[in-house]
Structure 1
Amino acid sequence: MRHQLARQVAHWRAATVALGDLEAFAAPAAWAGVEHYLSRELRRHLTGVVAALRARGDHLAAQVASGSGEDLATVQRELVAYRRRYLQVETVLEFFGDAVNHRATPRLGALLRGLDMLAADSLLPVLGPLGHAAPPVLTYVDKGLGASILRARVRLWDGGSLSPAAAIKVTRHNLLRPTALIHETGHQVAHLTGWNAELAGVLRAVAGPAGSPASLAWSSWASEVAADVHAFALVGYGAVAALHDVVAGERESVYRILPGDPHPAAWLRVLFNVELCRLWFGAGPWDELGAAWVATHPLERGTPELRVVARDTLPRLSALAAACTRRPMRSFDGRALAALADPTRVSPTELERLAARAGDSLWTSTHLQRHESLRILAWTSLRAALDLADAPRVAARFEDWLLRAGDGPATLPSI
């Protein structure tokens, strides 16, 4: 028994040593494509995770060498646990390695560094005034319709360590219309401030009568509502139009309410986001988007569950939008979200003023890149939504701007 245990332990210890070679998970060129401060923190974290696993393997080997029969039975159980932990650590390394490896291509690496900058900038309006440290951000590209985030400071699959960075997936189809990036950083903001739990209570009180299906549904959707509102406040109508395009799928998915799903029913989600625009910007192109949405997806074709929730929600959409943006929150030290991230700064009128005032320097000024990056994203996403003829030109200018931003010097996150 001792020999068989020793053989297995030797195998898994050797495999653990191999995990320490981070270039086996992402090419050196890809690691070089990560901003220095983020690369340092990520490498330090991953190396530490592997070191802890190696120490556990060393202890197990010592137990095999010195243990008696009864002790070896215990070692057998610990070996199974060690193997399980190895696979968990391997999953962490594969995840971050895959994310980093997208940067091996110079052009894509520069685009992703530009997206890192946008994501980091979007954390500051809320977290900065509240005194929360903004975590590093690592963006990567993957297939699919929707973006996603592995939040910083949440427990990873290795069973103990906390994620050293917010890892955000951006989809290929929205690489040059990355408003979903700001939705995902909204999840990070809500996590660090405790906004989700507080907003759930607000939505429960505003969405419908106490205990009603609408009240309970909107409360359960708080985390996604928070992220939508964060994106709207920082990017404006462009985020709403992009969200519409992602959720405008098959009829069943538009009307569906799934128990336990934190995403609002798409039918209501689009109308809520349209209401945010109406509340802050007045009449505008979002009205046509909302009307077309309802005409394409009539409520009477919806599921019974959706119709029940919609019956109470529709008259309260304006109140919901106001509660999310104008109501003082303990999470924000008694301030409303709009006091930290003012949606009027990304109204079409204000974005037009910014573009007219800046002229071509909108795309070339380092000062504007550092101080108006989110409004430049808001402007380009607005043009993509409103001017189909000019959208390709604006997208090309934005791509060049993003590449230049990604080729610039690293900027440390504010702490």
Structure 2
Amino acid sequence: MTTMADAAWFLEQECRALRTRLALVQPFVLHESMLPAAALAPDALIAVERFLLQGREELRQRLDDYFDWLLGVGATATPAEQQRRFVGLRWRFNDVLTQFDTFQQAITQRSEARIGIWLSGLDVVARDALELPGITVPPVITYLDRGQGAAIRRARTRLAGGDLSPTALVLIPRERMIGSNGIASSLLHECGHQVAALLDLVPSLQQEVRRYARTRPDDERPAWRLWHRWMSEIAADLHAVGKLGIGATLGLMGVVSLPRIFVMRVAEDDPHPFPWIRVHLSCAMGDVLYPHPQWAAVARLWDELYPPTGLDAVRQRLFTTLRRTCSLVARLAVGHRPAALRRRSIGDLQPSRERTPDRLARHYDELLADPTRLYRTRPTLAFAILGQARADGRLMPEDESGVVNDLLTRWALDSTFAAAGSYLPQPTHLVTSSEETS
């Protein structure tokens, strides 16, 4: 056998091996076991399966074409040319498997009975959080992982190989599954990133910040440069506060309660506002949307936990300026009118009337009289009610845990039966704090 024939034989075997391995990749619906109530929403599952199937079919066709070329006219090509074409196929093969793995972790978790049910319930919350008037929103999938920070792979962003993701994929840290504030604030913040992308919000907000900064005194310029850099995270935080009220800020405090050195450190390359100012801005945005003394009280509490003392002169000036301009940034963001909203403002997207602190407190009073109302409430509103009750000291963490578990389970069940065109009767029990129960 000549060297050229040896190379062709070797690459033929490699091509056959790739085709054989590719044939072993089956749709999730054929090999993932899960409770029906833990399953993905039909639109999300169909979007993922169709996306992965198209990738496998495209790769299978390219492998077949290469195999035919190698045994035909390619038999006379140089070994280097045969190898060059095969390597391109192998790269694409790895991309397809990586795309499969991207969704596998999220879907495999649905096989865990309790975790799967919770995730199905969180999918319902995420869909509610993404709802936008007149705008088509993508399917969304939630999953858990280790670590402190939540994250999102937005729909229509590029996966391995350059293909666009068919769904939003939201990671919630396991340590955040501790109550309504912990769960909802992380989830709604990540959904805020998807909303900002759908509205093309960040570039227009940054442009407005640049325009506004030119009218401010020179000593404020360093602060406004930071606000401009942080605008992506600010937009996501605003979405969370708008939907959840004080629960978003208290949940944020739980995430960024770190050693002081990290809370007060300004990193030049970090797109996130450093924790100390981020909590203050969250309070400022809440006060613009839902004016109430509670926001100033939370800001004072944060300063007691992390007093802005012992700073060098440069940082002290920066901290003071950032703190002074928080309310300006909040009003600018809430009043911003992106083109996608057709002259409506970001504040107009928020259900302001039903989510003021006083109205949320009245909602909670109504729930105590009729617990079934909670299960008929929009998911983001339900979490806002619980978050306000926690802030008011009316709902204890131990009792809240039971309520959140009931809600996530109920939403998972409802979404499952809704997909089947059926319904369930409403439960009649709501867990409350021992003081209120007595």
Q: Same fold (TM over 0.5)?
A: yes
The answer on 1:134 being equivalent to 2:137 is: yes
> Judging changes above 3 Å, is the alpha-carbon distance between structure 1 residues 306 and 143 closer, same or farther for their aligned structure 2 residues?
farther
State how far apart, in whole Å, the 2-side matches of 1:217 and 1:9 are: 52
Report the AA paired with residue 159 of structure 2: L
Aligned length: 403
Report the AA paired with residue 191 of structure 2: T
Whether the aligned pair in 2 keeps the contact of 1:214 and 1:313 (CA below 8 Å) is yes
Report the AA paired with residue 77 of structure 1: R
Question: Where do residues 307-326 of structure 1 align in structure 2 (5 Å cutoff)?
Answer: 307=316, 309-326=318-335
Question: Where do residues 303-342 of structure 1 align in structure 2 (5 Å cutoff)?
Answer: 306-307=315-316, 309-342=318-351
Percent of aligned pairs sharing the same letter? 28
Report the AA paired with residue 294 of structure 2: P
Whether the aligned pair in 2 keeps the contact of 1:110 and 1:402 (CA below 8 Å) is yes
Deviations 1:141-181 (A, max 9, x none): 11211211111111211322x21111111122222422211
State how far apart, in whole Å, the 1-side matches of 2:329 and 2:94 are: 45
Deviations 1:201-226 (A, max 9, x none): 22334466579322222111111100
Shift of 1:30: 6.6
- Structure 2 residue aligned with 1:170: 172
TM-score (norm 2): 0.84
Question: Where do residues 9-24 of structure 1 align in structure 2 (5 Å cutoff)?
Answer: 9-22=15-28
- Structure 1 residue aligned with 2:413: 407
**SS at the partner of 1:138?**
strand
Shift of 1:304: 7.2
The answer on 1:103 being equivalent to 2:110 is: yes
Report the AA paired with residue 271 of structure 2: P
Shift of 1:81: 2.1
Whether the aligned pair in 2 keeps the contact of 1:255 and 1:265 (CA below 8 Å) is yes
State how far apart, in whole Å, the 2-side matches of 1:27 and 1:108 are: 15
Whether the aligned pair in 1 keeps the contact of 2:35 and 2:110 (CA below 8 Å) is yes
Shift of 1:97: 0.9
> Judging changes above 3 Å, is the alpha-carbon distance between structure 1 residues 389 and 115 closer, same or farther for their aligned structure 2 residues?
closer
* Residue from 29, 36, 40 that aligns with 1:34: 40
Whether the aligned pair in 2 keeps the contact of 1:328 and 1:334 (CA below 8 Å) is yes
- Structure 2 residue aligned with 1:242: 251
Question: Where do residues 258-277 of structure 1 align in structure 2 (5 Å cutoff)?
Answer: 258-277=267-286
**SS at the partner of 1:212?**
helix
4+ runs deviating over 6 angstroms: none
Shift of 1:288: 3.1
Which 10-residue stretch deviates more, 192-201 or 103-112? 103-112
- Structure 1 residue aligned with 2:428: none
- Structure 2 residue aligned with 1:147: 150
State how far apart, in whole Å, the 2-side matches of 1:388 and 1:54 are: 59
Report the AA paired with residue 78 of structure 1: R
The answer on 1:233 being equivalent to 2:242 is: yes
* Residue from 2, 11, 32 that aligns with 1:5: 11
Report the AA paired with residue 318 of structure 1: S
> Judging changes above 3 Å, is the alpha-carbon distance between structure 1 residues 309 and 342 closer, same or farther for their aligned structure 2 residues?
farther
Question: Where do residues 3-402 of structure 1 align in structure 2 (5 Å cutoff)?
Answer: 3-22=9-28, 27-29=32-34, 33-66=39-72, 67-70=74-77, 72-124=79-131, 127-128=132-133, 131-160=134-163, 162-175=164-177, 176-177=179-180, 178-179=183-184, 180-206=186-212, 212-302=221-311, 306-307=315-316, 309-359=318-368, 361-362=370-371, 364-365=372-373, 369=375, 371-387=377-393, 390-402=396-408
Whether the aligned pair in 2 keeps the contact of 1:329 and 1:335 (CA below 8 Å) is yes
State how far apart, in whole Å, the 2-side matches of 1:246 and 1:294 are: 16
Shift of 1:87: 1.7
Shift of 1:65: 1.3
Question: Whose radius of gyration is greater, 1 or 2?
Answer: 2
State how far apart, in whole Å, the 1-side matches of 2:315 and 2:49 are: 47
Whether the aligned pair in 2 keeps the contact of 1:235 and 1:375 (CA below 8 Å) is yes
Shift of 1:379: 1.3
> Judging changes above 3 Å, is the alpha-carbon distance between structure 1 residues 371 and 190 closer, same or farther for their aligned structure 2 residues?
same
State how far apart, in whole Å, the 2-side matches of 1:271 and 1:236 are: 14
> Judging changes above 3 Å, is the alpha-carbon distance between structure 1 residues 298 and 89 closer, same or farther for their aligned structure 2 residues?
same
TM-score (norm 1): 0.89
Deviations 1:13-59 (A, max 9, x none): 222222245368x6232787222332222211111111112112112
Shift of 1:230: 0.4
Shift of 1:197: 0.7
State how far apart, in whole Å, the 2-side matches of 1:151 and 1:282 are: 32
Which 10-residue stretch deviates more, 32-41 or 264-273? 32-41
Whether the aligned pair in 1 keeps the contact of 2:128 and 2:378 (CA below 8 Å) is no
- Structure 1 residue aligned with 2:434: none
State how far apart, in whole Å, the 2-side matches of 1:288 and 1:13 are: 63
**SS at the partner of 2:160?**
coil
> Judging changes above 3 Å, is the alpha-carbon distance between structure 1 residues 104 and 334 closer, same or farther for their aligned structure 2 residues?
same
